[in-house]
Amino acid sequence: MILGVLVFNSHGKSRLVRWYDTRLQNLPLSQKRFIVWKCYRAASTRNAGSSNFLFSTDSEISEILAFPLKSVEPAGLGRTSGGNSDAASVGHDRPRRDASDRPETRLYGRDLRVVFRHYATLFFVFIVDENENELGILDLIQVFVETLDRYFGNVCELDIVFHHEKVNYVLDELISGGLVLETNQADILSALHGISEAITAENTGQGLTSLARKMRR
């Protein structure tokens, strides 16, 4: 399963953050920021000759596992217990660990992986579990970036900043609920153009009937 998708620039500024796992979705904001910060530090300081994979046993991301399982409900709904959500914002103190923070009670097991690619000023990071293939995720990142490039025409960081909803449309065509839906760029772009035409028709008062007639031709 894909647990999260992160995009940030070379200065650590988040440009896209999506969580697909309910345990991550319901973590306090401070802990989410901490995870993003650790992924940024790990990816940005990686040596040029190193791989694009980070495992939970690697020191760079091992602290992502520091959140105890008791912070979510036993049913796995991911509701957090009370606490100060501002205690560990990015660049400040790390979240304090509980005495019950044993490996078997942590939020994720030893098989957590972080897969990333670096393009110009942007890092694209996927957090996945052991059920995903690292090379497959690396290819998925490439498909994501190439689709953005074709959709926007030589995509850049500003496109992601000012067209955030369109970037999410692209991502939603690739991934849903942490599972890969589609990797064919032609099919993804076709769906995206259909969405764009529907939005344009609604804004101009063209109506869905005439749009459907046009699509049947």
* Contact (Cβ atoms closer than 8 angstroms) between residue 26 and residue 85: no
> Band of the pLDDT at 80, cuts 50, 70, 90?
very low
Residues written for the chain:
217
Lookup: tokens for 55: 């495992």
* Contact (Cβ atoms closer than 8 angstroms) between residue 176 and residue 154: no
The pLDDT score that the predictor gives to residue 197 is 80
CATH classification of 2-133 is 3.40.30, yes or no? no
Higher per-residue pLDDT: 30 or 214: 30
The pLDDT score that the predictor gives to residue 162 is 93
Average pLDDT, the chain: 77
The pLDDT score that the predictor gives to residue 66 is 56
Higher per-residue pLDDT: 167 or 84: 167
Residue spans of the domains in the chain: they are 2-133
Cα 186 vs. chain centroid, distance in angstroms? 22
The pLDDT score that the predictor gives to residue 107 is 56
* Contact (Cβ atoms closer than 8 angstroms) between residue 108 and residue 65: yes
> Band of the pLDDT at 18, cuts 50, 70, 90?
very high
First and final CA of the chain: distance in angstroms?
39
Taking residues 157-162, what's their average pLDDT? 92
pLDDT above 70 (res 6): yes
Maximum C-alpha span of the chain: 66
Taking residues 75-98, what's their average pLDDT? 40
Bridge partners of 17?
Answer: 6
Higher per-residue pLDDT: 66 or 44: 44
Render pLDDT for 169-207 as a digit per residue (tens, 0 to 9): 999 999 999 999 999 999 999 988 888 788 777 777 665
Percentage, residues of the chain above pLDDT 90: 40
The pLDDT score that the predictor gives to residue 130 is 85
The pLDDT score that the predictor gives to residue 76 is 39
Which helix or strand (DSSP H or E) is residue 191 part of?
helix 185-204
Higher per-residue pLDDT: 209 or 180: 180
* Contact (Cβ atoms closer than 8 angstroms) between residue 122 and residue 15: yes
**Stretch among 22-26, 104-108, 184-188, 204-208 having the lowest mean pLDDT:** 104-108
